Amino acid sequence: MKKVAIVMVLGLAACGADGEPVTPVARADISLSESGLHTATQVGVRKGGLSVSLGF
C-alpha cells in the first residue's frame, strides 16, 4: 500500500499539479550487433533547462 501511495504522490508532482506542467520525455533505442539485439529505454521529465530521466 505504501508503494501505491508513493507512486501516486510522485505522479501528482510530475504532472505539475502545484504549478506549470512539465514536459514528459521518452526515448527507445534498438541496436543490432555481432553480439545480438540490444534495447534501451529512457523516460523522464523536462522543465526549462532542467531534465530528469531514468534509463533502463
pLDDT tens, residue by residue, 7-45: 766 766 666 556 677 778 899 999 999 999 999 998 988
The arrangement of strands across the sheet holding 50-55 comes to: 23-33, 36-47, 50-55
Give the structural domain span for 39. 2-55
Residues 41 and 28: their CA atoms lie apart, in Å, by 4
pLDDT at 16: 54
Q: Please count the structural domains in the chain.
A: 1
Task: Please report, for the chain, how many H helices and E strands are present, in that order.
Answer: 1, 3
Residue 7 three-state SS: helix
Contacts of 15 (CB under 8 A, 6+ apart): 21, 22
pLDDT at 14: 64
Cell triple for residue 16? 505539475
Cell triple for residue 6? 508513493
pLDDT at 39: 92
